[in-house]
């Protein structure tokens, strides 16, 4: 379905790129909120985030302060002028948030996975003009992410953004949630013009990695960053290891290299054009070779058919794989890439041969 979008410039926020959303994982006390927010005003117009209902993996951990946190958000807004955002996970949350004048809402990863919950939240938002940011689901399913955004679009929300926060993976070591950047890039391709925010905190899971994940997102032309920031991270009641203080946030943002999407520099433009022409030519050569290879595969299929031989010859396939990976290595093509490429080509050959076999 077509998703009608208003650009970020129509959101009630200051226009700059990247948009910065910062603030604690959880609202803990009015003091903690005000001290964090005040320190953030030095950075410029950040959007202030805090969760008041926390979807914790296991019970008996801090599950959020509840609606009183929204009143603190409001105090922050009045005292600092910062815009505010919080997570909602059901219709009751929406009602509380609207009562307390929160500027933007976001949907958490554990909610995006559930179409019933998303529909309930969407229904509670009918007729309301509030920006909605939708985090990716826990699992790398572009359609599920897209579907949630479509449900908000369907009830008339036009200020929509996506937040990429990585994906749960059993036994992941480096990241708390592995980024799988291609999933976010694919969503951007499927919804033209959707603002894309990265949440390096929940991807990283540890503060030391936040800088590199942020830079990567900016290199991929993301529109903004949501970074958990706490006046005293060591004392945080949730997500302690990944929160940074406002000073550290400032240092990360100052060192961020923001590259342009394009430039007027003529020399750059013409050299880029030249290189792109080369890529186009090489791609057409690649496709031509693939077409010829598939034609040969069909001839083999014909041969096998006439002689009553099976399509899949495991020995031959193992030899091809081994030999091509070795050659690929000499060309600086990684084993992972070669394996994926060869498997895709092999599958297409099998499909062609199957078709030949089945042809009357």
CB of 203 to ligand PEP, least distance (A): 9
Q: Which of 18, 23, 51, 195 is close enough to bind ligand PEP by CB under 6 A?
A: 51
DSSP string, 205-220: SSGGGHHHHHHHHHHT
The distance of closest approach from Cβ of residue 202 to ligand PEP in the complex, given in angstroms and rounded to an integer, is 4
Q: How far is the CB of 54 from Mn ion (least distance, A)?
A: 7
| Choice from 28, 239, 325, 353 touching Mn ion (CB under 5 A) | 239
Instruction: Spell out the residues 6+ positions from residue 51 whose beta carbon is closer than 8 angstroms to its own.
Output: 24, 25, 26, 27, 64, 86, 87, 238
Identify what 108 binds: ligand PEP, Mn ion, none; CB under 5 to 8 Å per kind: ligand PEP
Return d(Cα 285, Cα 278) in angstroms, integer: 11
In angstroms, what is the minimal distance from the CB of 51 to ligand PEP?
A: 5
The binder of 120, among Mn ion, ligand PEP, none, by C-beta within 5 to 8 A per type, is none
Minimum gap (Å) between residue 257 Cβ and ligand PEP: 25
Q: What are phi and psi of 66, to 5 degrees?
A: 85, -170
In the complex, what is the shortest distance from the CB of residue 239 to Mn ion, in angstroms, rounded to a whole number? 4
Q: What value, to the nearest 5°, has the Cα angle with vertex 179 and ends 346 and 194? A: 95
Instruction: Scan for tokens 């579907």, then name that residue.
Output: 147
Nearest to 103 by CA among 126, 127, 134, 81: 81
- Which one among 165, 176, 230, 352 touches ligand PEP, defined by CB under 6 A? 165
Spatial separation of the C-alpha atoms in residues 239 and 233, rounded to whole Å: 9
Spell out, one character per residue from 20 to 49, where the chain touches ligand PEP: x when CB under 6 A holds, - when not.
Answer: -----x------------------------
For ligand PEP, what does the binding mask look like between residues 81 and 120, x meaning CB under 6 A?
Answer: ---------------------------xxx----------
Q: Nearest residue to ligand PEP, using CB?
A: 108
In the complex with ligand PEP, which residue's Cβ is closer, 59 or 127?
59
> Distances from the Cα of 232 to the Cαs of 62, 242, 243, 248, 354, in angstroms?
17, 12, 9, 11, 63
What's the CA dihedral at 152, 157, 162, 163 to 10 degrees? -90
**R_g of the chain computed on alpha carbons:** 25
Provide the binding-site residues for Mn ion, judged by CB under 5 A.
25, 239
Provide the binding-site residues for ligand PEP, judged by CB under 6 A.
25, 51, 55, 108-110, 135, 165, 199, 202
């Amino acid at each position: 379905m077509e998703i009608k979008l208003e650009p970020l410039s129509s959101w009630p926020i200051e226009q700059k790129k990247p948009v910065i959303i910062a603030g604690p994982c959880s609202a803990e006390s009015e003091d903690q909120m005000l001290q964090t927010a005040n320190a953030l005003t030095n950075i410029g117009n950040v959007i202030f985030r805090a969760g008041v209902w926390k979807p914790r993996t296991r019970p008996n951990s801090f599950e959020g302060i509840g609606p009183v946190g929204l009143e603190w958000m409001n105090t922050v807004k009045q005292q600092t002028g910062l815009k505010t955002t919080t997570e909602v996970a059901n219709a009751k949350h929406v009602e509380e948030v609207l009562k307390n004048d929160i500027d933007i809402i976001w949907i958490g990863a554990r909610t995006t996975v559930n179409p019933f919950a998303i529909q309930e939240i969407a229904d509670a938002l009918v007729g309301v003009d509030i920006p909605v940011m939708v985090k990716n689901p826990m699992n790398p399913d572009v359609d599920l992410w897209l579907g949630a955004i479509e449900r908000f679009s369907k009830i008339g929300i036009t200020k929509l953004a996506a937040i990429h926060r990585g994906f749960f993976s059993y036994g992941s070591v480096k990241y708390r949630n592995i980024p799988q950047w291609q999933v976010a890039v694919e969503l951007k391709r499927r919804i033209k013009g959707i603002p894309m925010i990265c949440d390096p905190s929940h991807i990283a899971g540890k503060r030391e990695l936040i800088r590199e994940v942020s830079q990567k997102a900016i290199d991929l032309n993301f529109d903004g960053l949501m970074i958990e920031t706490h006046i005293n991270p060591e004392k945080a009641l949730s997500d302690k290891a990944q929160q940074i203080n406002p000073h550290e946030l400032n240092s990360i943002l100052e060192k961020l290299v923001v590259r342009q999407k394009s430039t007027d520099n003529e020399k750059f433009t013409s050299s880029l054009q030249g290189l792109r022409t080369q890529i186009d030519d090489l791609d057409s050569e690649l496709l031509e070779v693939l077409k010829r290879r598939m034609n040969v595969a069909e001839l083999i299929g014909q041969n096998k058919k006439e002689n009553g031989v099976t399509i899949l010859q495991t020995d031959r396939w193992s030899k091809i794989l081994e030999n091509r990976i070795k050659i690929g290595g000499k060309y600086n093509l990684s084993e992972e890439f070669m394996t994926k490429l060869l498997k895709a080509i092999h599958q297409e050959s099998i499909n062609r041969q199957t078709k030949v076999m089945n042809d009357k």
